[in-house]
Amino acid sequence: MTAQHPIQFVKGVGPRIAGKLAARGILTVQDALYFFPRGYEDRRSVIPIRALAPGQNVPVRGKVLSVQGGEPGYRGPKVLTVTIADGTGRIVAKWFRFHPSLAERFRVGKTVTLCGAARWFRFLPEMHHPEILSEEDEADPIHFGRIVPVYPEVAGVPAKLLRRIQWEVVHRHADTEQECFPGWILERAGVPPLRESLAAIHFPQDDADAARFRDFSSPQQMRLVFGEIFSLQWAIAVRRAGMERERSTPLPWDREIVEEIKRRLPFRLTEAQRRVVNEILKDLGNPHPMHRLLQGDVGSGKTIVAWIASMVAWRHGVQTAVMAPTEILAEQHHQRFAALSEGLPVRMTLLSAALPPKDREEARKRIRAGDADIAIGTHALLQESVEFRNLALGIIDEQHRFGVLQRAALRNKARSSPHLLVMTATPIPRTLAITLYGDLDVSVIDQMPHGRLPVRTRVVEERERQWVFEEIRGELSRGGRCYIVLPLVEESERTDLRDATRTAERMRETFPETGVGLLHGRMKAEEKESVMRRFKGGALGILVSTTVVEVGVDVPEATIMVIEHADRFGLSQLHQLRGRVGRGTRPSACYLMVREEQGEDARTRLAIMEESTDGFRIAEADLKLRGPGDFAGVRQSGIPDLVFADLVRDAGMLRVAREIVADLYRRDPGLGAPEHDGIRRFLARREAASSRAME
């Protein structure tokens, strides 16, 4: 029998059970081998009741003192309550789904063994719905006297039967699984071979550390983590190598270009800006395309860096495309680029969906004819109808709105591969950046322009609202502007969320001295633009908005931001939002509104915002609190979901895997050597599985 055999051939699995397992995706023996426990219970020995700790999930054994509830004909509590004592203490077992046959299993004075999570109620330990172990069970090495696996529920298959089936599967078939990695790789990764790992993950050895199995960090589980991370790193290595083979137009810089740019700078670049400019200029001179991610906190000054790169391209007589995620930002970039290049014969074109069709056609024509040196726009630039004459540099602002596919689309617009500069203000923790953008080199602007004032941030409660409103009134009278940010567009009946429309009305009543604008995701692009413009211009002093203001908008006069229901936002998102204020010369403030009933947890989390203005620190904290899944960009990254690996916890493994992959790729990029057959099959299988998952 091989691993590919139907599960029905396993002892104890009849057609009916096979059907239930199939419904859970377990069709073959191999499927069962990879159907892993969701937890473990340490049943190596019975614990004295007195020694129990809350949350501990262990067996206890004692004499039944009393059995209460659900006597025949009695319409009282439907709860079965059984009290047992073992000489060290008493514990109460409760079943909330009473059944006479259940009660019959307990007789006062008899000894029973129960297994479940201990909790406390009125100073007494309790177990709810514990597993009842019979004498037979206790004699059975599958269910007792070991660290016992707890499998995810499979409808129609009792837990004990499932465990027995898995025992059969593991003991008879784990050995048929082929190890795909050669010994030197396993050794460097510090993980045991696959077979040993599979066996232990289902049924850990007697001397195993149960706690490590529970958080999936035992050496055997790390074998699976390694497999996942390895395949991720390998995919990145392949992608990278492909790019290194691409050719691009080299755009070397010389003294003259640099001097000319320097003369036009409206301010001294920060040390960090100078460093990343150097990195970019070096890349641009290569005959291979640049693939660089420029990370820099909100307000760190990425735009000028992008402009410098575009100037180098312009001096070489080739085109640059600058892409922004929204119309507002595209227009803002267009204005800024134009201001920076004033007096130079650089021809700039804005291509935006907001333009009338005639102007759009005109813009496309200029881009095609090469009459536009720098084309600035949104996704519109990626449309098929847009052709460039000699595109050599692509700049993508705010990467997290653009995925890998868009990057590829831009690349296809040029005859030879264009240099690519991707900018993001989402400070992606290093560990995550390696994984998400492993195919990009990373530059970081880790310094703010001089004289920037940190945004004073405070968590405030509803009862302090009046006082916050007075602050706003004061700022308005000094010519400041105010953002009010809300998490949702419309109030739903079920929640008590302040709906943006209602908030705007309320603000109009409260602040008759100024205009109040409303901005939300369901508005048309032109409507948004017009509101934004009036806010920028000062006709509106207050802008009530959903999170559409998050990205890049620059209104230096804005000095106050109030974020309603701040606890509903992730920290990184709050940081992004906060970056909309504090852009001018006057001190700014950000108020994070929470409801009184919000727990300490929310407040502790938000306190990070009060203490820190460092986007990277905040991002790290966010990553620890919420995991990588919530990170902007993770989902669009085109990287298969990681089931076992945790990019924060497994940062060390990530580094090791990268080194192993680098070595292996250097030796055998095609994995053609016979000793790498296994790896090739493993990667193919993963690829097939992930493309199935995408369907």
Q: Which residues bind ligand ADP (CB under 6 A)?
A: 267-270, 273, 296, 298-304, 425, 449, 554, 583
d(CA 638, CA 85): 56
CA distances from 317 to 46, 278, 370, 570 (A): 80, 21, 9, 44
Binding partner of residue 300 among Mg ion, ligand ADP, none, CB under 5 to 8 Å per kind? ligand ADP
Binding partner of residue 197 among ligand ADP, Mg ion, none, CB under 5 to 8 Å per kind? none
The contacts of residue 3 (CB under 8 Å, 6+ apart) are 28, 29, 30, 33, 173, 176, 177
Binding partner of residue 304 among ligand ADP, Mg ion, none, CB under 5 to 8 Å per kind? ligand ADP
Q: In this structure, are residues 116 and 131 in contact, taking their beta carbons and an 8 Å threshold?
A: yes
Binding partner of residue 29 among Mg ion, ligand ADP, none, CB under 5 to 8 Å per kind? none
Nearer to ligand ADP, 273 or 341 (CB): 273
Nearer to Mg ion, 552 or 628 (CB): 552
Supply the minimum distance, in Å, between the C-beta of residue 552 and Mg ion. Answer: 4
d(CA 311, CA 443): 19
Supply the minimum distance, in Å, between the C-beta of residue 258 and ligand ADP. Answer: 16
Binding partner of residue 299 among Mg ion, ligand ADP, none, CB under 5 to 8 Å per kind? ligand ADP
Nearer to ligand ADP, 289 or 301 (CB): 301
Q: In this structure, are residues 575 and 298 in contact, taking their beta carbons and an 8 Å threshold?
A: yes
d(CA 333, CA 323): 9
Pairing label, strands 515-519, 481-485:
unpaired
Closest CA to 283 of 419, 394, 123: 419
Query: Residue 320 — φ and ψ, nearest 5°?
Result: -120, 140
Nearer to ligand ADP, 303 or 319 (CB): 303
Q: In this structure, are residues 503 and 486 in contact, taking their beta carbons and an 8 Å threshold?
A: yes
480-486-492 Cα angle (round to 5): 150
Binding partner of residue 267 among ligand ADP, Mg ion, none, CB under 5 to 8 Å per kind? ligand ADP
Supply the minimum distance, in Å, between the C-beta of residue 266 and ligand ADP. Answer: 7
Nearer to ligand ADP, 186 or 272 (CB): 272
Residue nearest to ligand ADP (CB): 301
Supply the minimum distance, in Å, between the C-beta of residue 306 and Mg ion. Answer: 9
Nearer to ligand ADP, 298 or 321 (CB): 298
Closest CA to 675 of 173, 179, 58: 179
Nearer to Mg ion, 181 or 402 (CB): 402
Q: In this structure, are residues 610 and 458 in contact, taking their beta carbons and an 8 Å threshold?
A: yes
Supply the minimum distance, in Å, between the C-beta of residue 304 and ligand ADP. Answer: 5
d(CA 490, CA 495): 10
- Length of the chain counted residue by residue: 695
Supply the minimum distance, in Å, between the C-beta of residue 322 and ligand ADP. Answer: 12
Supply the minimum distance, in Å, between the C-beta of residue 388 and ligand ADP. Answer: 24
Nearer to Mg ion, 243 or 455 (CB): 455
Which residues contact Mg ion (rule: CB under 5 A)?
552
Binding partner of residue 650 among ligand ADP, Mg ion, none, CB under 5 to 8 Å per kind? none
Supply the minimum distance, in Å, between the C-beta of residue 566 and Mg ion. Answer: 23
Binding partner of residue 554 among Mg ion, ligand ADP, none, CB under 5 to 8 Å per kind? ligand ADP
CA dihedral sign, ordered 198, 203, 208, 211: positive
d(CA 624, CA 578): 21
DSSP, collapsed to helix, strand or coil, labels residue 474 as helix
Q: In this structure, are residues 216 and 39 in contact, taking their beta carbons and an 8 Å threshold?
A: no
Supply the minimum distance, in Å, between the C-beta of residue 297 and ligand ADP. Answer: 7
Nearer to ligand ADP, 429 or 582 (CB): 582
Place of tokens 């390696």: 434
